[in-house]
């Protein structure tokens, strides 16, 4: 996959420059503010990682509850608020004279959207690189993937509401369905069918 990144970037640049009609058509393929071709590309990227998630491993939470509680607590109770606070501090206070107010608001919004969602796919890579416990990693990713279905939308609405930004609930719910539920369900179904064979 890494070998494909540079040619794909080059193709995107060339298409944008010499065939501008193609991006214009692709931009129109949207639903609830989400670009569907981008969704398909994201599915292709995260689908293999979603297949690694073993929801049967959730029952192993009892084996190391403290580790799961610390990791889950920091992901959902600390990180979103810390990200919001740091983004507000840097973009609206420290760099206030360098960044226009509207752009600072957009930067804080982007930081909130990134900060609320726990990273799930890269956790496997980090765990492998640090020689972590793969079983614990699998349990943690499974727990976070289930919690994101319930906690992402309310936390985003809360933090963006404090920041004075409104994102329609249907857009947030559709994003969760499009970028989490669909690939997660597809990965789980594929995993089940492959193991069954």
Which residues, at least 6 apart from 29, have a Cβ–Cβ distance to it below 8 Å? Answer: 35, 36, 37
Q: What is the pLDDT of residue 108?
A: 93
Contacts of 177 (CB under 8 A, 6+ apart): none
* pLDDT recorded at residue 127: 80
Q: What is the DSSP string of 67-123?
A: HHHHHHHIIIIIHHHHHHHHHHIIIIIITTTTS-HHHHHHHHHHHHHHHHSPP-HHH
The reported pLDDT for the residue numbered 173 is: 80
- Give the pLDDT of residue 1: 52
Q: Tell me which residues of the chain have a pLDDT lower than 50.
A: none
The 8-class DSSP code of residue 1 comes to -
Q: What are the chain's domains?
A: 1-31 (no CATH), 35-196 (1.20.1530.20)
Segment 110-135, tens digit of pLDDT: 999 888 888 766 777 788 788 887 77
pTM score: 0.67
Place of tokens 């939470």: 61
Residues 160 and 51: their CA atoms lie apart, in Å, by 32
Q: Is 178 within 8 Å of 39 (Cβ atoms)?
A: yes
pLDDT of residue 121: 64
């Amino acid at each position: 996959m890494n070998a494909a990144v540079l040619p794909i970037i080059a193709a995107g640049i060339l298409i944008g420059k010499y065939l501008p009609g193609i991006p214009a058509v692709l931009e129109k393929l949207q639903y609830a503010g989400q670009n569907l071709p981008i969704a398909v590309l994201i599915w292709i990227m995260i689908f293999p990682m979603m297949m690694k998630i073993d929801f049967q491993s959730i029952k192993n939470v009892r084996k190391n509850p403290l580790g799961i509680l610390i990791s889950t607590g920091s992901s959902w109770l600390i990180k979103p608020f810390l990200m919001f606070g740091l983004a507000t501090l840097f973009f609206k206070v420290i760099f206030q004279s360098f960044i226009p107010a509207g752009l600072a608001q957009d930067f804080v919004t982007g930081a909130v959207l990134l900060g609320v969602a726990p990273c799930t796919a890269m956790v496997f890579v980090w765990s492998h690189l640090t020689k972590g416990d793969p079983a614990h990693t699998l349990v943690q990713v499974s727990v976070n993937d289930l919690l994101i279905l319930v906690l992402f939308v309310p936390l985003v609405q809360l933090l963006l509401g404090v920041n004075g930004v409104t994102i329609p609930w249907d857009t947030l719910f559709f994003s969760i369905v499009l970028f989490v539920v669909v690939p997660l369900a597809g990965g789980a179904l594929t995993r089940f069918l492959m193991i069954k064979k």
